[in-house]
Amino acid sequence: MKKAKAKVVITAGPTREHLDPVRFLSNPSTGRMGFAIAKAAVERGFEVTLIAGPVALKTPKGVKRIDVVSAREMCAAAVEEAKAADVFIATAAVADWRPAKCAARKLKKDEMSSVLKLVRNPDILKTVNATVKRKGNSDLKLVGFAAETGNPICEAARKCREKGLEFIVANDVTAKGAGFGASTNRVVILDKFGNRKALALMSKLAIGRRIMSLV
Ligand code: C5P
């Protein structure tokens, strides 16, 4: 049976990697870019699922939202939702590492060591590529973001290749009007063919609309 609407799945916000119930590793992502893309995708008539880390944003109208905390939870939800999706857009600032152990109760200061053992988290885009796109849903289009400090272009081109993306949206998070928490962003879009387009400083919603028109 043909689906009524094309489906887009978006990851947004940070993840939290707990070492006990009250302490975690995370980053300053607010989720604004992902939520703006979700709004733009609804405007375009997509069925939209937004997988959100802990953020303080209202869910855009018409969006199905799945709340998660850790990278592993986000990854599991992403794999599940991507199976029936047409487009997967990863805007989340996923924590690359997590504490090797998470205590069931709050650790006392003197139970903690000054050295925290970490283990790598899964790369969600790579996991979706390997376990969904290459295993059944081959038409799935993957889109990523690259938040860099300094010149984002080289790093972004490498990530576009390595993660099997159609295109990647690169930005320098230290640039004026860009990055975590800002309502605007200045991005460069690089596609898998090596084409590159620099957009002017604009609102995250306007960028979301540009991304959705490319999709
Ligand atoms: O962290 P990195 O710069 O590699 O992120 C690039 C892209 O990969 C982003 O779209 C981000 O959402 C995604 N990513 C991911 N899982 C990770 C790390 C990053 O999906 N563990």
Q: What is the CA radius of gyration of the chain?
A: 17
User: Tell me: the pLDDT tens digits for 87-99?
Assistant: 999 999 999 999 9
**Dist. CA 40–CA 47, nearest whole Å:** 11
Torsional class of 104: left (φ above 0), alpha (ψ -120 to 50), beta (otherwise): alpha
- Indicate which residue's Cα is closest to atom 6 of ligand 1: 146
Give pLDDT, residue 185. 87
Q: What is the average pLDDT across 107-118?
A: 93
Tokens of 122: 């899964």
**Dist. CA 167–CA 153, nearest whole Å:** 12
The residue whose CB lies within 8 Å of the most ligand 1 atoms, and thus the one to mutate among 163, 166, 180, is 163
Contact call for residues 146 and 168 (beta carbons, < 8 A):
yes
* Dihedral sign for Cα atoms in the order 69, 70, 71, 75: negative
Mapped onto helix, strand or coil, the DSSP state of residue 77 is helix
Residue 192: HSE in the Cβ half-sphere, 13 Å Cα cutoff = 12
User: Tell me: the pLDDT tens digits for 17-62?
Assistant: 999 999 999 999 999 999 999 999 999 999 999 999 999 999 999 9
List alpha helices for 97-143, DSSP H.
124-128
Q: Give domain 7-214's CATH superfamily.
A: CoaB-like (3.40.50.10300)
pLDDT band at residue 2 under the 50/70/90 scheme: low
CA-wise closest residue to 124 among 116, 133, 137, 115: 133
In the chain, domain spans: 7-214
The set of protein residues with a Cβ atom below 6 angstroms from ligand 1 is 11, 71, 90-92, 94, 96, 121, 123-125, 144-146, 159
Give pLDDT, residue 89. 98
Is-above-0.75 flag for pTM? yes
